[in-house]
Amino acid sequence: MKKFFGKIKNWFISHAPTKRRIIQLYSALLHNAYLKGFITGDMYKGSTKNVCFPGLNCYSCPGAIGACPLGSLQNALGESSVRTPTYVLGILALFALMLGRTICGWLCPVGLGQDLLYKIKTPKIKKSKATRVLSYLKYFMLIVLVVIVPLMFAVPGFCEYICPAGTVAGILSFPNNPDWLADLGPFFTWKFTLLIVIIVLSIFCYRTFCRFLCPLGALYGFFNKIALLGVKLDKNKCTDCGLCQGVCPMDIKKVGDHECISCGKCISVCPAKAISWKGSKLFVRKNDTDMPAQAESANLLGMVKPKEEAVENVAPETTVQTDKIAENTASEVKTDEEV
């Protein structure tokens, strides 16, 4: 019995939430701070709804205390014949400039939900060429459903046909507002079906919605390279070993590109210490990553090659050594299959 409880204690210690997870939880709570709304079914009508929140969170959710950036953008574009949609565009520009897709990785409540679903232990679908191609689907969503449909038909296309956050908001609201049930029809049936498909796929495939469908992520992705916060790669130190891409659950081609959600997993595994946080002195500690337990222990045990040694080994003419370093490091650095 004592052994069993010891195991449980060890499990809790080794599975203690990372800083990223804690920030995600706080952020989800902050997005939905009107907890009373979940019980009474009322919507929050305070002045904080003047401002858009960074993450995807339907403003019709009973707990939401801010406006959804994507819904606001679509409505603003739908009303562009009345007024120029400068307000929402300005807010989005500032969010994107400051955080880029760090918002997806650290602040978005929908992202948190998918991260938790992916924790369920089932066989997983790994990233491949197909997922890479499918990751461009979100740009179709952005151009067609978020821009063209609202501009042409004054309808928030993404909210109406796709958004799973809105469907969840509906499901949470219906018990306290039974009158709305009379209006259920093809829209809800379709959106509920899509929600179930997204939930099921998120259990097998990392962040299905973020990677393939989310237009907000697509929009923030454009600003990833110039964002003030995120991860950056020092090209002079990089040995092209490919471990960063190997450990990354998103469909990145390079560290910090438009697919990168700045989760920080790559920082821990980089043998040449070529990846670091942007503005780390201002915002975060240098080695504040998403997988401290495994990677830091690997570092402490001296499993990861120190920076100087790794760089020294890779002279420009000895190209084969780059592969060797990757192989060596791959056999040395160990981590969970899914984090």
Residues 192-231 that bind other proteins (CB under 8 A): 192-193, 196-197, 199-200, 203-204, 223, 225-226, 228
The span from the CA of 83 to the CA of 156, in Å, is 16
The span from the CA of 63 to the CA of 29, in Å, is 9
216 or 333, CB closer to other proteins? 333
As a residue count, the chain comes to 339
Residues 309-328 that bind other proteins (CB under 8 A): 319-320, 322-323, 326-327
25 or 147, CB closer to other proteins? 147
Token representation of residue 7: 């195991």
Binding string, 226-265, against other proteins, x = CB under 8 A? x-x-----------xxxxxxxxx-----------------
Residues 284-313 that bind other proteins (CB under 8 A): 294
Token representation of residue 105: 């990785």
Q: Is 26 in the site for other proteins (CB under 8 A)?
A: no
Cβ pair 330, 271 in contact under 8 A: no
Residues 126-185 that bind other proteins (CB under 8 A): 129-130, 132-134, 136-137, 140, 144-145, 148-149, 152-153, 155-157, 159-161, 163, 166-167, 169-170, 173-175, 178, 180-185
**Ordered DSSP codes for 193-237:** HHHHHHHHHHHHSTTHIIIII-HHHHHHHTTTTT-SSSEEE-TTT
Binding string, 98-117, against other proteins, x = CB under 8 A? --------------------
19 or 225, CB closer to other proteins? 225
**Best CA proximity match to 130, nearest among 211, 216, 199, 246:** 211
End-to-end Cα separation, the chain, in angstroms: 29
